[in-house]
Amino acid sequence: MKKNILLTLLLAITLTLGACSSDITETTDTPTEQPSNAHETVEDEDVEEVDEGDTVKIAIITNAIDEELFSVQAMTEKYPGRVIHEIWPDGYWDNPEKLEKMKSIFERIAADPEVKFLGVSAIYGTNSAIDKLLETRDDIFIMYFSYAEDPKESAKRADIILQANFMKAGYDIARLAYEAGAKTLVHYSFFRHMSVNAIAVRHDIMKSECERLGIEFVYSDAPDPMGSWVDTFKREYILQDVPRKVAEYGQDTAFFSTECVVQPALIRAVMEEGAIFPSPCCPSPYQGFPSALKLDGFSFYDRDGGTTRLDAEFDNPEQMVNPDFIQATIEQIDKTIVGAGMGGRFSIRPFPEYALNIFVTFDYATKWMAGKTDGKVDLNVLRELIESYTGPGADIEPYTEEGITYDNYILYMQPSITFR
């Protein structure tokens, strides 16, 4: 189970970088004792409240992907004059040149004495690179969000690690299918995905939970071609296969796929067949729904002239992290699904995951620097901040591996919304 949990979390960084089908190398470090932070930040009792106009700064390091960039932009507007934003260099994580560039980013941050809080989208190599910062600064609160490093080593360096609980989603997807009345759950995937231990673990959890709930679990091997035409082919397969599965198992069949690119086709086919869709593969209301349901606020285009490669893009990309726009999108989904007579058969997570990570990181930073948290790791404040974006019902817990609980490594799962 230890390897399973660890590699589940390693997958999350792959999704963060927009590569749902990438392979992940297994990490096998085994902790032998409860880790302690290798650096000491400002003692909690010595934290002074930060006035709104204080010059204390928050540094943030992200990838160059839209959702993270626009999230930081929104937080820069919320906390004017307080934000330093750095972007990770491109390239493979084990490239020596990239590692040196990563170290130089930490050197720049360490050189600014006004920086007291550092949020990091922790890609491969972060632990090694951040040691450069720790050589000269031990007064910066470090928070990892989304990570790709060994938990034991990360917990030594970061004061908090915040990560979506990818593994626990296996239980929840089975539960949502059951509550929607599913008698069967079809799980689409393919060898390349299933060879990633994290995806295999979620599959196994989902399967065992379906068996416990009395749902027939059906693994369906989907095609995994390579080439410029791959999206069209995969979506066409889903559009043709879902009706076959419904004909075989009935309308009370729930469908789940491990691949992002087929979500629009899967949603469309489930709608047309009157089946059940308990969750997209990634926690976001934008995952497949805009193009499948033709939502307002999006433009649609057909890249290859086929009927199944219809994609959606934001009319105003900056809106993607705007809570009001997110809520409006959810309301559109609700209206469309319920209006089609499919109430109770579709569920989503209410907030884009990567935006949520960044928003909570910033908000936690300001609360900690203002002395409004109970120590460095305050689960109540973290829950409060998460639910301020997702609504009530978030699941939050420390990460445990082989009986060792990492109190500063926090896993969370958003509540779900079922449209009724």
Per-residue pLDDT of the chain (420 residues; tens, 9 = 90+): 444 444 444 434 343 333 343 322 233 333 333 333 333 333 344 444 444 436 689 999 999 989 999 999 999 999 999 999 999 998 876 788 898 999 999 999 999 999 999 999 988 889 989 998 999 998 999 999 977 778 888 999 999 999 998 888 999 999 999 999 999 999 999 998 998 777 898 999 999 999 999 999 999 999 887 655 677 788 899 999 999 999 999 999 999 999 988 999 999 999 999 999 999 998 899 999 999 999 999 988 765 555 555 688 999 999 999 999 999 999 999 999 999 999 999 999 999 999 999 999 999 999 999 999 999 999 999 999 999 999 999 999 999 888 899 999 999 999 999 999
Q: Do domains 2-165+354-418 and 169-351 have the same CATH topology?
A: yes
DSSP string covering 78-139: HSTT-EEEEEPPPS-TT-HHHHHHHHHHHHHHHT-TTEEEEEEEE-TTHHHHHHHHHTT-SS
Q: Regarding beta strands 417-418 and 57-62, do their DSSP bridges make them parallel or antiparallel, or are they unpaired?
A: unpaired
Q: What is the pLDDT of residue 13?
A: 36
Angle between helices 197-213 and 2-16 (to 10 degrees): 110
Q: What is the pLDDT of residue 401?
A: 83
Q: What is the pLDDT of residue 68?
A: 94
Provide CATH code, domain 169-351.
3.40.50.11390
Name residue 279's amino acid: S
Residues 6+ apart with CB under 8 A from 219: 187, 189, 203, 207
Q: What is the pLDDT of residue 230?
A: 72
Q: What is the pLDDT of residue 40?
A: 39
Measured CA to CA, the distance from residue 264 to residue 266 in angstroms comes to 5
Cβ burial of 329 (10 Å; 0-12, 13-18, 19+) is buried
Cα→Cα distances 210→23, 175, 179, Å: 27, 8, 12
Residue closest to 107 by CA, chosen among 81, 127, 129, 78? 129
Q: What is the pLDDT of residue 76?
A: 94
Q: What is the pLDDT of residue 197?
A: 75
Measured CA to CA, the distance from residue 150 to residue 293 in angstroms comes to 40
Q: What is the pLDDT of residue 54?
A: 60
Q: What is the pLDDT of residue 304?
A: 55
* Domain definitions of the chain by residue range: 2-165+354-418, 169-351
Q: Which fold has domain 2-165+354-418?
A: Rossmann fold (3.40.50)
